[in-house]
A and B are shown apart, each in its own frame.
Chain A
Amino acid sequence: MSASSDVGRIARAHANWHWSEIVFWCLTLACGFLFPSRYLIMTDIVRLALFALSLDLILGYAGIVSLGHAAFFGIGAYSAGLLAVHGVITQPVLALIVAGLVAAVIGFLTSFLVIRGVDLTRLMVTLGIALLLEALSERFSNITGGTDGLQGIEMAPVLGAFQFDIFGRTGFFYALIVLFVLFLIARRIVHSPFGLSLRAIKNNPLRAAAIGVPVNRRLIGVYTLAAFYAGIAGALFTQTTQLASLDVFSFERSADLMLVLVIGGTGYLYGGLIGAVVFRMLQEFFSNITPEYWQFWIGLVLVVIVLVGRARLHRWVLFVPNWIIRQFGGQKATVAVSEGEAS
């Protein structure tokens, strides 16, 4: 039946790769070769991007606000650290997955508390859970190393072949590959019926239920998934810095993550990635010119973003490149679309 295959084609078209996405990833990879002296900060950006991608899954797609996402980051970080210190799993990739799964289990268990409330309740519950975990890891300092952090983390070579080096080259490419693979999975998920039902729930949960969507079950699912992603981001942190300390659970980490998504935008997967790059660059830039007052400038940028509106800023920034492209490619061609228009 042709009407049916047309429908299939149109529905699938949303999941097609836009060429700007391919450019984005090529540029990202190119950075790894262009700036060999900057591996440490670039790895930091990749980790933050993965962490932000995780928050975007629940905030941008399912509408769950969280001020305690560092809880899962921290669990991933300590899991990876403990696995390495006690020599349980020294193979980084395997340890990464196990750490992610531990975070996912905690995510699943706490999701029942989170789905009950609305926005303000959720903020408080997520914040509370992160504070709880921070306090627990301080109390059980015999396991976690307390304020000194977890000492003596030694990582085996990645896949038995690539030793972590002091320049952070292996660490960077390892983190980048992990980010890319998890991005591909997330991209697939948000274009699935499951992903579509999340968007429906975010827009209008009552209506979603009236269509037959089991709202709570879907929210539990995506919250668990996001916890898995955040756990992996935390484990990457431990593995690439060979450090795990109490600040993995800190409120600042959760709050910074919100800022990353405010900068980059939510609900189109790239928001977290772009936001992470811009956020860290701004931080670098401002702390170079005013080491003591960089937070003032970051704050100012945020206020401007929120007041002017991100969509408008995107349009301004993309105005010139889009204008040039249109001269060559006709009216419909755009170099990139702002979040509202992206699928």
Chain B
Amino acid sequence: MTLALETKGLGKQFGGLKVTRDLSLQVTQGARHALIGPNGAGKTTVINLLTGVLKPNAGRILLEGNDITNLTVHRRVLRGLSRTFQINQLYPDLTPIETIGLAVAERLGRGGDWWRVMGTRDDVNAEIAENLERFHLTDVRNEPTVTLAYGKQRLLEIAVAIASKPRVLLLDEPAAGVPESERHDILAAVASLPRDVTVLLIEHDMDLVFSFADRISVLVNGAVLVEGAPDEVARDARAKAVYLGEGADG
């Protein structure tokens, strides 16, 4: 069994506060793995550790067996670890073409190209067009992001992450705040992500988690409390007590 993403004894503390304790996660290749937990369980910190925004105090992070613990944020992206953001962190005045173009150009090593006008490279253009098409953004491709409907912005969020051709994708609450009418598009986009991309889903929405994930880890106080297949987790008394019981609203 090859592991797409693995953490070994990961620990992070802010002052005296231990936010992540001895976290050992194993995400198998091609998995649809969900990381759930009540508010304050340390989910955001885990994402920041995985993506390199924060440096851990202890432990290691392996991407397809390679140690990435000390790599910078952008190097991890180029190695194949992308993420989406919970709250939209898109560029309000850039268009979908430009936003996706940024990611494609960087992945193809063309991002530092300063003498060629954007849009003059066929390989970049083709990939932009492909991603626009896949995420139903072709009709708004030249509109500033700020003018797009919220659901379209969430799709763009996923499209940008996919444009980096990740091996492992961290989806941070992809459907958060999306109105009911646009929800279906997001769920369809998430469901149709390529099978060879391993997905780690961080989510509050239990419907989405149980319909999507084939494996679930329950995070409590910065450590994994329960891990297993969805039906195992649903039956687990401890998980019910700490999470499903009090988190049934989300």
Contacts and interface: CB of A to CB of B under 8 A. Distances in A.
**Do the two shown chains form a genuine complex with each other?**
yes
B177 interface: no
Interface string B70-110: 00111001100011010001111110011001110111001
Contacts of B72: 209, 214
Contact of A204 (B91, B111, B124, B125): B91
Given A3-B129, A213-B111, A192 B164 contact: no
Contact of A7 (B91, B113, B141): B141
A193 B101 contact: yes
A193 B89 contact: no
A25 interface: no
Chain A interface, >50% SS class: helix
A15 B118 contact: yes
A215 B72 CA distance: 10
Give the size category of A's interface with B. Answer: 35 or more
Contacts of A181: none
B117 A212 contact: no
Interface residues of B, number: 48
Nearest to B72: A209
Contact of B117 (A5, A15, A203): A15
A189 B112 CA distance: 10
B14 interface: no
B235 interface: no
A28 B133 CA distance: 45
Given A9-B119, A10-B142, A196-B101, A207 B94 contact: no
B138 to A, nearest CB: 7
B73 A209 contact: yes
Interface of B: 51, 53, 72-74, 77-78, 82-83, 85, 89-94, 97-98, 101-103, 105-107, 110-120, 122, 124-126, 128-129, 132-133, 138, 141-142, 160, 164
Interface of A: 1, 3-15, 188-189, 191-197, 199-200, 203-204, 206-215, 217-218, 221
